Amino acid sequence: MDIDAVKSEIKGDIGREMVFYDTVGSTNTVALELAEGTEEGAVVISDSQEKGRGRLGRSWVSPPGLNIYMSIILRPRIEPAHVTLITILSAVACTHALRKTTGLAIAVKWPNDLMVSDRKLGGILTEIKTTRKEIVLAVIGIGINVNMEAGDFPEQIRMMATSVKNETGKSFAREPIVSEILNETDRWYKVLHAGQKKEIISEWQRLTSTLGKQVLVTAGQETYYGLAEAIDDGGMLLVRLPTGETKRINSGDLTVLK
């Protein structure tokens, strides 16, 4: 990847400092380690990952030369309970950036899956360090399948995963996508700091394909079935159960039922 080409298109604070590797275990792990001596907005980006991590302990397929693997270091100083807001914010930023640079009709599946034609094209893994009162460090890990082809995906996920190339039939340069994601993240992070949480939530609601659908959500040991009604101010999903009760879910694995 041509990091100078990425840097030349950076417009805000996020991405001003960028560290590039040919390979790492996981960019999130490197970012968590580097965070102490690094400015807010610094970005770790790698051409491949040997131990790419997904949510819920899953692994993230990260072959070289094809996709985007990067982690953004932020110090949001918001309540720990509002961590989902960070993921929601970055899902909004990635969706805008991908729609603009690829023309694909990307939609967000709660909380963080970037979907096209009901297949997953990208994902976000947010990891935080907190005090009791606030999030002192948030690492937003973003993985986007850009030029992978169907045969490059392991068989278990081939039916559920896709890439920009798979959807458009064309190869895409990764650099403009990376800079647009960073510029959009900068834009939405400023919205968060201006105290306009509601604007982020309503933009997410506009970009999602989850709300208004019957869903199954596994959260820890529990599985809930119901109607995905809304997300609240902290980014929690509100599911209306068949009993009429509304469950507030902070994080979990969601399946949209057809």
Site string for ligand BTN, 20-59 (x = CB under 6 A): ------xxx--------------------x--xxxx--x-
The distance of closest approach from Cβ of residue 194 to ligand BTN in the complex, given in angstroms and rounded to an integer, is: 27
Which residue's entry shows tokens 């131990």? 51
Question: Which run of H or of E encompasses 98?
Answer: helix 83-102
Q: Is 152 helix (H, G, I), strand (E, B) or coil?
A: helix
Does residue 15 touch ligand BTN according to CB under 6 A? no
Within 13 Å and on the Cβ side, how many CA atoms surround 231? 33
φ/ψ of 155, rounded to 5, equals -55, -35
Q: Cα(214)–Cα(257) distance, rounded to whole angstroms?
A: 6
Q: Which is nearer to ligand BTN, 123 or 235 (CB)?
A: 123
Q: Cα(213)–Cα(105) distance, rounded to whole angstroms?
A: 19
C-alpha torsion 243→236→110→148, nearest 10 = -150
Q: Which is nearer to ligand BTN, 51 or 193 (CB)?
A: 51
Q: Which residues contact 33 (CB under 8 A, 6 or more apart)?
A: none
Site string for ligand BTN, 69-108 (x = CB under 6 A): xxx-------------------------------------
Beta bridge partners of 85: none
The distance of closest approach from Cβ of residue 28 to ligand BTN in the complex, given in angstroms and rounded to an integer, is: 4
Structure tokens at 25: 């275990």
Q: Which is nearer to ligand BTN, 38 or 240 (CB)?
A: 38
Q: Which is nearer to ligand BTN, 43 or 201 (CB)?
A: 43
Q: Of 125, 161, 200, 215, which lies in the binding site for ligand BTN, with binding defined by CB under 6 A?
A: 125
The distance of closest approach from Cβ of residue 125 to ligand BTN in the complex, given in angstroms and rounded to an integer, is: 4
Of 118-126, 155-163, 195-203, 220-228, the segment contacting ligand BTN by CB under 6 A is 118-126
Q: Which residues contact 196 (CB under 8 A, 6 or more apart)?
A: none
- For ligand BTN, the binding residues in 129-148 under the rule CB under 6 A are 141-143
Q: Which is nearer to ligand BTN, 91 or 192 (CB)?
A: 91
Number of residues that bind ligand BTN (CB under 6 A): 21
Q: Is there a contact between 103 and 92 (Cβ–Cβ < 8 Å)?
A: no
Using CB under 6 A, list all residues that contact ligand BTN: 26-28, 49, 52-55, 58, 60, 69-71, 112-113, 123-125, 141-143
